[in-house]
Amino acid sequence: MNKPKMASEKGVPSNSSLLMLLDQIERMNGEAMLRDAELARHVTAKILHLIQTQEKSGREIMSKGSGMEVILASLENCRDVQTTLNILYILTELLSVGRGHRVEVFISKGGTGILFQILISASKESPPSVELMLQLHSLLAKVGPKDRRFGVKARLSGALNVTVNLIKQNLQNTKLLLPCLHVLRVYSSNLVNAMSLGKIEGVELMFKIIGPYSKKNTSLLKVALDALGALLKSKTNARRAVDGGYVAVLLALYQDWHRNDTRCRHILIRKGLLVCLRNVTNIKLGRKAFIDADGMRILLNSSTECLPVRTLDPLVNTSSLIMRKCFPKNRLPLPTIKSAFHFQLPHIPAGGPVAQLYSHPPGVDDVVDDSDDNEEAEADTDTENDEDEKDNCMLNDDIETDLNKLYPKRSLCRPFEDLKVYERFFLELSEDFQGYTLKGPKSTNSMPSSASPSSLSASARSPRPVTVPSAQTQPPNDIPIPSSQEDRSSTKGHGTQPSSSALTSTPSPPLTPLDLDNIHLSKGKKEEASSPSDGDRVIEKELVSPFECVSLEEKEDLNADASERVRQEGSPINATRHIQSPLLLGGIPTLRVGSGGSNLGSDCGSEGADEEGGEGAVLEVPDTARLLPLHNPDLYVEMVKETCSVPQYAEVAYPDYFGHVAPTFKEPLLERLYGVQRSKIFQDIERLIHPNDILDKVVYDLDIPNCPLVKDEGESLKFNSQFESGNLRKAIRVRKYEYDLVLNADINSNHYHQWFYFEVSGMRVGVTYRFNIINCEKSNSQFNYGMQVLMYSVQEAISGRPCWVRTGTDICYYKNYFARSSIAAGGQKGKSYYTLTFSTSFSHKDDVCYFAYHYPYTFSTLKMHLSKLEDLRTPQIYLRQDVLCETLGGNHCPLLTITAMPESKSSNHIYQFRNRPLIFLSARVHPGETNASWVMKGTLEFLMGTSTLAASLREAYIFKIVPMLNPDGVINGNHRCSLSGEDLNRQWQSPNPELHPTIYHTKSLLQYLAHIQRAPLVFCDYHGHSRKKNVFMYGCSLKETVWQSNISATSSDLQEDLGYRSLPKILSEIAPAFSMASSSFVVERSKESTARVVVWREIGVQRSYTMESTLCGCDQGKYKGYQIGTRELEEMGAQFCVALLRLKRLIGFRNHQHGWDLDNDVITIPAKTVSSPTTYVMEEDEPSFLEAIDYSAESNDEDAEPENELADEAQENLDQLSD
C-alpha cells in the first residue's frame, strides 16, 4: 500500500460509508456496546475491511478530527475480546502508514495509556488471550519509541511485570515473544525501568533466550540482545550479570558466533553481544570479570582476524573500546607527577595553584582512580579519515552575554604618578635629536645608545661554564686546528673564520640571506586602489608586486679548487669551518662533552672526553652564517652563558648551536593510513597479554639527580634533554626498538605536558624505532591529521644540511591506559593521558639526532638575534633595546623600539616623528608555541630591512615590541606556564608584580600610553595553535558577540566601527597562509583575563588581536596540503608588517575622503554575518576541533563522541582556555 501524504488527507467527502460507520460506533459507546457486542463486532469488522481494501479510508479517519478519538473511546469502553482485537487491527493498519504523524496523533489522544489499561485488564484473565497480548505488544512496540513518557507510563501502570511474566510463560512461542522483546527493549531505555526489570529477573530472563550460533530465530536473538544491552546500562543490572557469571557466558557466545559466522551474515548479533560486554564493563567488577575470563585475549584475537574485512569494522571498533576500557589503569612511571624541577617563589599566594600543588603530602598527588564515574564515552562507528565539520558553535555557553562587559571602557586603576616611571621606555616621544647627526654613518652614534643583548644581562652575573657540541670523530691530520684565541671570538658575531687550507685562498662570495623584504601579497586577487599621492603610488606598486622567490642557493659557486660541492635540493651549503672542541669557556673545563651517552662523551656512564671528544677533537661546524646572517655559534654560546635556568643547564644543543636553514622544498602533510591507530592500540594491549615480552628498562631518568643517563651495556638508545628548552623526563625501553617517553610537567605544576625537545644517540642504521610519548594531555592533536614531529640530524648538519625536517610514520594520537590524577585534572575522576606515537629510522651510524614538537627557538637564540639586529641598523633606523624587567628566574625581558629617524632636526619633522601611531606587538607568552617566535623573527627582520616597504613602515609607525613575554618558561622547557606555575595569559586583569613581572610591566606600558592619550593603533599577541590549520586571528567585537549569543539588544546598543576587521581582511588578501574563515571576533567569559580582551576593554584598543599560527600546516591557499615551516612562519611575520602598511594607507585614505569608512568598504560583509563562529574552546583558545575523530577505535574523543564526553572535556580544561 502506498503511503499517502498528509496533504492528500484534506478535502475527503464527509458522506462516505466509513464515516457513517464511525458515527454508528460512536453512538454505541458506553452501555450500548456492552449490550450489543455482536453489532460492535460487525461494525468494527466492516471498518477494518474498508481500511484494508481502500487506501483512502485511512485518510478519511485521520482527516476527521474526531476519528481517532472515536476509535480510542471504543477501545477503552470495549469489554469484548473480538471487538477489542478488531479495533487493535484497525489501529495497526492506521499506524503502519505515513511518516510518523499518525503515531504522534495517537499518542496525543492518550492512546498509549489506553493500551496499557487494556494490557493490565487482559493480564487478569485466566488464561489471557494470546492473540490479544500479541496485538497489544505489537502496537506498543510501534508507539513506544515515539512516546517520550512511554517508560514512565509503563512503570506507573504496572505493565513491566505483565510483559516480563508473559515472556516467562511463552519462551517457546516465538510469534508472541518477538513483540514482547521489542516492548521490553523500549522499557529498558528508561534507566529506572531497567533497574525495576532487573529486580524481577529481567536480566536472567534474557540469558535464557540468547544462545549459541544458530540459523533459526536470528531476528528474535537480535532483539533479545538489544534488550539485554539496554538493561545492562544500569550499573545495578551490570553487577547482577557479573554476580551471575554471565560475563564469561557473553564471551563464550561471542567466540561461538565469531567462529561459525564465516560468511558474516549475522554481524548485528555479534555486535549485540559486544554491546552487552561494553555495558557490563562500565563497572569495575565487570572489568575485573572480563579480565579474569580472558576477555582481552579473546577479543584481541577475534579483532585481529576481523581486521582484513572492512565491513567488520563496527565489531573491531567496539572490541577495541572494550579492551581499552578494561586495560588496567596505571599511574605514570614517576615518583611524582610534579615537575622534576622546583623553583622557590618569593611568596606563594594562598589558594593559588602552587599552594594547592604543594599542600598534598608526597605519594598522594598521582592516585589512580578506580571509580565507575565518568566512564569513557563510546562511539560505535568508525570515523577514521572522516573530517566532516561538526559545527557546535551556536551551543557555546562561554560567550559573554553581559553587555556592560562588552563595551570597551578604559579602566586605568593606577594613578598616573605610579606610571610616570615608564616614561623612560618612551624616549622617542620626547626626543629632540639635537645631539645627534641624523645622516651620519653608523659609527657616528646617530642613535641613542641601545642596550645590546649582552647589556640585557646582569653586569655582575658571572658567566657559567657551558658545554658546546664536540666532534664525533677525529679530523683528518692535514686540517689545521685554529688557535684557542680564534675560538673565543668576539660576541659581536664575527665568528671563527675557516682556516686557509680548509678552503681556497679565494674567498667565497656571501650567500644571499633569507630576504623578507619582497613577499607575495595579492593571493591572486585584484590590486588595491592607488593612494592619493605619487609617493604612495610607488609604495602601492610594491605592495602588489609579485613575490620574488627566496633562494637559499649561492649566487656564485665556490672556487672549484676548494671542493666539489654537491648541490642538492634542501642542501644549500657544504662549506664548513673547523674549530677545536671542546671549548673551555671561561677557563673552566666542561663537565660534559657532546650529548647524553653518545659517542661524544658523557659524565654519566662514559669513558670520558679523552677518547673521542677530547682535546684534539675537531667539530666541523657548517658555515650557516653564510645563509643565516642573524646566527653565529660563538655568539650563541655567549648568550647561553648569560641565561639563567632552574636546572642550571651547562650544555648546548647542536641545533641551537649550528642553527637552522629552512629547506627549499615543501613538506606535504602526512597521509594517514587506515587502521594505523587501531594497530598501535592492539600492540599496547599485547603488553598486558604477553608481559614477558616487555623489557621495561629505564634508560634515562631526570629524577636521578646526578646521573639521569642510566648506564646500559646493551643496544639501547641514549637520551638527553639537559639543555635550554629541553623537555624529556624519562625514557623506558619497552621492546627492542620501542621506547616509552615521559615528558616533564611545567615547573611548579603537575600538568601541561605537550612540548618536547630531546636528543637521541646510539642508534642503528636501517632499524625502525618506535617512540611513544605517553603523558600528553590535550584531547586531540593535529598529529592525527598529517602533522609530523621534527628531527635534526647532526651528521646531516655537518654534511651541509643543518635543518629541522619533518619525520615519522605511523603517527597517531590516542587516549591511553595511564590514568590522570584527579588532582591534576581539576578534580575530575576517570581521566586518562594521551599517547603520541611515531616511528622513524636513522640514516647515519653514530649520529646524534634531536626531536621536537615544533621548531625550537630558545631565549638565547632571541638574544643572539637581537644582537645581530644591531648590525642591520642603518643611520635611517631608530632602534632601541631596553630591559623591561627581570623575570622570576633572573633573566631580562627585552623591549624593542623600532621606527624611522626623523628626516631632519626641524621642528616639523620632530613633531611628525613623535606623533606617529604606535603598534604594540608581543609573542611567546606560552613557551611551547615556538612558531610565535619564528613569526616574530620575520616581523623583526622585515622592520630592520632596507626595502622601500620597510622604510615606509618605519616612517608610518613607532613599534614597541616585547618579543618574548615568558623567557623563564622558554628556557626551562615549559609548555604553557612561567615559573609561577601559572598561565601568564590568564593574568592580564590583575598581574602580580612579583609573580608575573613581564605581564605587569607590559600592561603598565600600555596603561601609560592610555594615560597620555597615545594608546596603540594595533595590539597583537603572537601565538601558536595545535589543533587547527592555517594562520588566523581572534579579535574583539561587541556586535559579533551579541549575534552569537542571541541576547536582546537594541540597534543603539550595537554601535561599533567595523575597523577591527580591516587588518585580518587585508591579511586574508595578501598572506597565503592566512584564513579569514578561521578567524573569530567573539568575546568569551573564559578570555576576560587574556591580553587581547584586557587591552581591548581596559586600554580601549579597538584593533586588539591574537594571531594564531598553526603548528601543522594549511588546508587552503597555495600552501594547502603542506606542513608549515620556518620559511612560511617568517613570511607571515613579514606579511603582517605589510598589512600594517596597507592599514595605514586605508586609514589615511579614509581621512582624506572626509570620513568615508573605507574599513567598512573593504570588509563588505552583510549584516549579521559572522565569518567564523567561535566555539567553546579548550586549552589554547582552540575552537572545537572540526575534524571528526573516533577514539573508540581509530581515534575517538573530541567531536565524534557523545555530548556528555564533550562536556567533560570542556570542564576538564576550563582553567586552560586561552588565546
Distance of alpha carbon 1219 from alpha carbon 1092, whole angstroms: 8
Concerning whether 1108 is annotated as a catalytic residue, the answer is yes
Do the beta carbons of residue 335 and residue 392 sit within 8 Å? no
Dist CA 812 CA 671 (whole Å): 11
Q: Which cell numbers hold the place of 1197? A: 574523543
Rounded-to-10 torsion of CA 1089, 1093, 1098, 1101: 150
Cβ neighbors of 897 (< 8 A, separation 6 or more) are: 425, 428, 878, 879, 880, 881, 882, 958, 959, 960, 961
> Cell triple for residue 352?
593559588
Phi, psi of 745 (to 5 degrees): -70, 160
Q: Which residues contact 47 (CB under 8 A, 6 or more apart)?
A: 18, 21, 22, 25, 57, 86, 90
- Cα gap 277→156, rounded to integer Å: 30
Helices 313-326 and 284-292, interaxial angle, to 10°?
A: 110
Among 716, 730, 700, 806, residue whose Cα is nearest residue 762: 716
**Alpha-carbon distance 511 to 554, whole Å?**
5
SS (H, E, C) 1088-1120: CCCHHHHHHHHHCCCEEEEEEEECCEECCHHHE
Query: Cell 482485537 identifies what position?
Result: 85
The helix (run of H) or strand (run of E) holding residue 997 is helix 997-1011
Residue holding cell 587516549? 815
Kindly name the residue from 1108, 1128, 1179, 1201 that is annotated as catalytic: 1108
CA distances to 364, 905, 912, 1035, 1096 from 915, rounded to whole Å, are 59, 15, 5, 26, 22
Contacts 24+ apart (CB under 8 A), 359-363: 360/823, 362/336
d(CA 376, CA 972): 34
Distance from C-alpha of 201 to C-alpha of 182, rounded to nearest angstrom: 17
Neighbours of 810 (CB within 10 A): 17
Q: Match 604606535 to its residue by C-alpha cell.
A: 918
Which strand (E) or helix (H) includes residue 50? helix 37-53
Q: What share of the chain is helix, strand, coil (3-state, %, to 5)?
A: 40, 10, 45
Backbone angles phi and psi of 643, in degrees to 5:
-95, 130
The helix/strand/coil state of 203 is helix
Task: Tell me whether residue 1046 is exposed, middle or buried, using C-beta atoms within 10 angstroms of its C-beta: 0 to 12, 13 to 18, 19 or more.
Answer: exposed
- Interior angle at CA 945, CA 575 and CA 626, nearest 5: 5
Sign of CA dihedral 929, 934, 939, 941: positive
Return the closest-CA partner of residue 869 out of 920, 937, 918.
937
Which cell is 924 given?
Answer: 611567546
Q: What three-state secondary structure class fits 181?
A: helix
Dihedral class, residue 272 (left if φ above 0, else alpha if ψ from -120 to 50, else beta)? alpha
Instruction: For the beta carbon of residue 346, count every other beta carbon within 10 angstroms.
Output: 9
Burial of 688 (0-12, 13-18, 19+ CB in 10 A): middle
Cβ burial of 324 (10 Å; 0-12, 13-18, 19+) is buried
- Residue owning grid cell 624593542: 896
Catalytic residues: 1108
